[in-house]
Amino acid sequence: MNLKQIRYALAVAEEQSFTRAAQRCHTVQS
């Protein structure tokens, strides 16, 4: 697991939403 994945996992936990976490991390949801 790299740093980007850890940050994304944290964002998902904090936002409780994959969509909001993706927006926050500037990532597209696949």
Retrieve residue 11's tokens. Answer: 């964002």
Please give the Cα distance from 23 to 1 (Å, whole number).
20
Residue 16 confidence (pLDDT): 94
Q: 3: which DSSP letter?
A: H
The pTM of the full predicted model, rounded to 2 decimals, is: 0.62
What is the domain range of residue 29? 1-30
Give the tens place of pLDDT for each residue, 1-30: 799 889 889 989 998 988 888 887 777 666
Number of domains observed in the structure of the chain: 1
DSSP 1-30: --HHHHHHHHHHHHHS-HHHHHHHTT----
